[in-house]
Each structure stands twice: as structure tokens, then as C-alpha cells.
């Protein structure tokens, strides 16, 4: 997963034609650490359909405020700079919930490409 360190890098990443999922996390978040063991496998499973980027909420607070990221980890799917779907809540996210969200992003991207 590409780690984003600047707003410019974020906007470049989400501007791609390939749908991009932005994962907002922090180093101190227990629920963020909870998803770490299975996220590499999830990324591999979706590698042909989605790109993934990671943003540390503490490093880019203005960007997170713009996108109303309150609970973490949070996920937002983009294609060509447009938001397709978001999975933002303060609850712990399971692998199944994340995969369901990623399927929604793929479907939304396919619909927007037509």
C-alpha cells in the first residue's frame, strides 16, 4: 500500500482512472492495528481492480477534515478524483465488511465507466 505524505500526492493518486481506495489510519489506533494482519491479503485479492493508498490522519489533518474523517480506520473509494463510496464509522471493521465495501467501489467504478 502506497503511503501518502502530502495532499498533492493524495490528489494525484485519486485522479487515476483505476479506482483508488484511500485508507485513513493513525499509529495509535487499536482498530487500525486490528486490520493490519489481513489487509495485505485483501490488497492482493483486489490488486487487478483497485489501487490502495494509506494516509495518516495525524500527518494530514487538513485533508482529513476536508473529507470529514472522524472515525478511523476509514476507507474512501475514488476514481478520476470523484468519490465513489465511503466506509467511515467509529466501529471496528472486519475483513468481511471491508471486502463488501471494496466490492461496492468496484461496482461503482464499473458503473461510472459506462
Torsion angles phi and psi, residue 50, rounded to 5: -135, 150
Place of cell 482529513: 64
Catalytic residue among 21, 32, 55, 85: 32
Active site residue 29: yes
Active site residue 64: no
Tell me the residue ranges of DSSP E strands in the chain. Answer: 2-4, 20-25, 51-56, 74-79, 82-87
User: What is the dihedral sign for C-alpha 94, 40, 17, 114?
Assistant: negative
Radius of gyration of the chain (CA): 13
Catalytic residue among 12, 16, 29, 99: 29
List residues with catalytic annotation.
29, 32
Amino acid at each position: 500500500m502506497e503511503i501518502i505524505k502530502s495532499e498533492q500526492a493524495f490528489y494525484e493518486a485519486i485522479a487515476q482512472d483505476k479506482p483508488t481506495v484511500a485508507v485513513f489510519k493513525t499509529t495509535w489506533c487499536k482498530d487500525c492495528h486490528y486490520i493490519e494482519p489481513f489487509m495485505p491479503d485483501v490488497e492482493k485479492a483486489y490488486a487487478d481492480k483497485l489501487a490502495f493508498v494509506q494516509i495518516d490522519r495525524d500527518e494530514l489533518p487538513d485533508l482529513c477534515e476536508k473529507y470529514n474523517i472522524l472515525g478511523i480506520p476509514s476507507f474512501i473509494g475514488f476514481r478520476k478524483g470523484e468519490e465513489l463510496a465511503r466506509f467511515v464509522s467509529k466501529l471496528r471493521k472486519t475483513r468481511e465488511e471491508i471486502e463488501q465495501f471494496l466490492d461496492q467501489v468496484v461496482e461503482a467504478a464499473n458503473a461510472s465507466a459506462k
